[in-house]
Amino acid sequence: MTLTQSPIREVINRQRQFFASGQTKEIEFRLSQLKRLKQAILDSKEAVMAAVKADLNKPDLEAYATEIGVVREIDYAIKNLKDWVKPKKVPTSLDQFPSSAYIYPEPLGVVLIIGPWNYPFQLMISPLVGAIAAGNCAVLKPSEIAANTSRVVTQLIQKTFEPEYIAIVEGDAKTAQELLAEKFDHIFFTGGTKIGQIVMEAAAKNLTPVTLELGGKSPCIVDAEINLQHTARRIVWGKFINSGQTCIAPDYLLVDRTIKKDLLAEITNCISEFYGEDPAKSPDYGRIINERQFDRLAGFLNNGEIVAGGQTNRDDRYIAPTVLDQVPWDAAVMEDEIFGPILPVLEYSNLDEAITKINERPKPLALYIFSKNEAKQDKVLRETSSGGVCINDTVMQVGVSELPFGGVGNSGMGSYHGKASFDTFSHQKSVLKKSFLMDLKWRYAPYAGKLDLIKKIIG
């Protein structure tokens, strides 16, 4: 359904009233809601998989692992929540004696979560897990571009939660703008950098803090000291899962020129191994979300020499897994995040050259390096900046709950997953407790004769 500005405000006001009741702060309430969410997902898993199939032609294995797999985050939150909510005691200095100090995590209030279309179920539900665990009320806005999944998510949320606790609003960009015009206690947005700027600008008018999970051109450095077959296989999987429509997919390869020929041959072999001679007929290869994205991506196919793939079918929204060689740095395909099944390959002569090229561009969400050489691994870690790094693999870093996931610079701000999700939707409230047992007079006027003592205390 699409709500007008007035009903949206009514939903938010009802949520504020419910939050004020204190019910969402109760640990058992949070745990029970997480369990309800998990069961609702398990009960709806066939509908979810059918929806992402309709939207993206996502293979069943990919759909289950990357969409239904969000239940693992719920399990992790349920397992750890009682530890997360405990106040953390911190030391105090001598001048505070006698005292004790604590950090209390408390919920923010009413939060807005805006989801993307590429993993339309997981990336809507995953931040919701953090919002619930932290004790908030939430308004969800799924992407209208993945219309089938949006409908399923809406049905799931409406069946599982009362709207004064968790509400969901379907609609287009106009609806999103109406939501952003309201005052929330936090906004969590997943999507492109340009829309992220719009979200941040709107949030600034209400001084609303934001978490922006964006993207960028995630580079993949391939050193000469590698296991060639493992490297090619992991790159092909990470690049072409979900037809390349993954925010942390390797966007382009930077390959040591001495192994480029062999690597390209192995990558071509892996594409055939994964998807057959005609990936259009493969049950394991997805489709582009819509014609607009298809046209954008198809325009990149003449930006280099096609080594593999290149076939397209607009009616089917199909672009073959494609590898481009001889790509100049100033080509259109190298300007913005590709977000599709096109892999440009560039080369370097030494690692310093590769690092310089990466650092000339905005900081990416992910950076990959394939190398057996630990000194080179350390050099890349030390001399580059990115939201996260994965060494000798691609995309798999997102599956480690203990690792915060988020960007830096143009690739986003803030992080989530595991405890980071709980922290994102919590305020860390500082509390100092003083005792009445004694009251040392060193800080009170008159100050005569006390300066030397203060100098000793401060140092």
Which entry of 213, 266, 337, 347 is annotated as an active-site residue? 213
* Residue 305, φ and ψ in degrees, nearest 5: -85, 120
Tell me which H or E stretch contains 286.
none
Count H helices and E strands in the chain, helices first. 16, 20
* Residue 107, φ and ψ in degrees, nearest 5: -65, 155
Tell me which H or E stretch contains 336.
none
CB 278 within 8 A of CB 310: no
What residues are paired with 406 via a beta bridge? 415
* Residue 148, φ and ψ in degrees, nearest 5: -65, -45
* AA identity, residue 310: G
Residue 64 CA to residue 45 CA, distance in Å, equals: 8
273 noted as active-site residue: no
State how beta strands 137-141 and 166-168 pair: parallel
360 noted as active-site residue: no
Count of residues making up the chain: 459
Name which of 217, 216, 224, 227 is nearest 393 in CA terms.
Answer: 227
Cis-peptide into 98, omega within 30 deg: yes
Residue 234 CA to residue 56 CA, distance in Å, equals: 22
Which entry of 137, 220, 247, 270 is annotated as an active-site residue? 247
CA dihedral 188, 51, 233, 244 (to 10 degrees): -60
CA atoms within 13 A on the CB side of 396: 8
Name which of 121, 115, 144 is nearest 63 in CA terms.
Answer: 121
Query: What letters, b where the CB count within 10 A reaches 16 and e where it falls short, cover 148-178?
Result: bbbbbbbebbeebbebbbbbbbbbeeebbeb
Q: What is the DSSP code string of 193-248?
A: HHHHHHHHHHHHHTT--EEEE-----EEEE-SSS-HHHHHHHHHHHHHGGGG--TT
CA atoms within 13 A on the CB side of 377: 12
Give the distance, in angstroms, between the CA of residue 257 and the centroid of all CA atoms in the same chain.
33
The residues that are catalytic are: 213, 247
